[in-house]
């Protein structure tokens, strides 16, 4: 079972590794559900940790419907991550109907290659998550999906998460998220049976 800790400082990243995290997702502004971290933090984190570091690519808070200028900005952030040796980025683009913008997502994902791509919890905003998941299978660069199954918590979304894992098969890794902590991880794992999990406190409190 891979435990992915969501962090926003180097100190939290070091604590997460020390506490047994297998990987971290590095963000800024978690009060806005995570934005792109600055390059200095990314560089320091990669050089200080021995576990894998994912970087969030998200230019602002709010919805996931982006203008052309915002997409260009995201491409620039992806390029910077690639130059620094980031192994995976986390992104997601929706259209006005909160369905996955396949064209924009594919564009950013191709730009990220050979880095892996996780499509983030933007999918939880969509009206039919299982239908949208099928669309992601058509973008080869997308390897994982971070999701609460359309609910606030992974526990509440467990039935949808189980269906998502069945649909994804071996094409996509479904990473349950949503208030998963070191206290409830085992119980959630027993009910969902995923191979990876994500949480702010998945290996305990970090500060």
Cα gap 36→34, rounded to integer Å: 7
Alpha helices (H) in the chain, listed in sequence order:
10-18, 39-48, 68-84, 102-112, 129-136, 158-168, 185-192
Per-residue pLDDT of the chain (207 residues; tens, 9 = 90+): 999 999 999 999 999 999 999 999 999 999 999 999 999 999 999 999 999 999 999 999 999 999 999 999 999 999 999 999 999 999 999 999 999 999 999 999 999 999 999 999 999 999 999 999 999 999 999 999 999 999 999 999 999 999 999 999 999 999 999 999 999 999 999 999 999 999 999 999 997
Cα gap 25→196, rounded to integer Å: 13
Q: Which residue, among 202, 92, 205, has the nearest Cα to 147 in the 3D structure?
A: 92
> What would be the CATH architecture of the domain defined by 2-199?
Alpha-Beta Barrel (3.20)
Q: How far is CA 160 from CA 4, 23, 129, 187, 197, in A?
A: 20, 25, 8, 17, 15
Residue spans of the domains in the chain: they are 2-199
Q: What is the pTM of this model?
A: 0.97
Helix (H) or strand (E) holding 23: strand 23-26
Q: Which residue, among 92, 22, 18, has the nearest Cα to 53 in the 3D structure?
A: 22
Helix axes 39-48, 68-84, angle to 10 degrees: 30
Cα gap 95→207, rounded to integer Å: 37
Q: Give the pLDDT score at 67.
A: 98
Mapped onto helix, strand or coil, the DSSP state of residue 165 is: helix
Q: Give the pLDDT score at 62.
A: 97
Q: Give the pLDDT score at 35.
A: 98
């Amino acid at each position: 079972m891979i435990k992915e800790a969501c962090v926003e400082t180097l100190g939290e990243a070091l604590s997460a590794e020390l506490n047994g995290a297998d990987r971290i997702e590095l963000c800024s502004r978690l009060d806005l559900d995570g934005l792109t971290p600055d390059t200095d933090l990314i560089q320091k984190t990669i050089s200080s940790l021995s576990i894998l570091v994912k970087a969030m690519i998200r230019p602002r808070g709010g919805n996931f419907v982006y203008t052309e200028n915002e997409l260009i900005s995201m491409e620039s952030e992806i390029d910077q991550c690639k130059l620094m040796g980031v192994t995976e980025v986390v992104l997601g683009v929706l259209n006005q109907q909160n369905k996955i913008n396949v064209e924009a997502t594919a564009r950013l994902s191709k730009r990220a290659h050979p880095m892996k791509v996780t499509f983030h919890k933007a999918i939880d905003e969509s009206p039919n998550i299982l239908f949208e998941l099928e669309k992601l299978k058509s973008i080869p660069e997308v390897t994982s999906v971070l999701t609460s199954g359309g609910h606030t918590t992974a526990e509440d979304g467990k039935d949808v998460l189980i269906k998502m894992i069945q649909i994804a098969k071996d094409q996509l890794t479904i990473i349950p998220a949503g208030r998963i902590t070191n206290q409830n991880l085992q119980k959630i794992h027993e009910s969902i049976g995923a191979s990876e999990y994500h949480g702010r406190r998945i290996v305990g409190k970090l500060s």
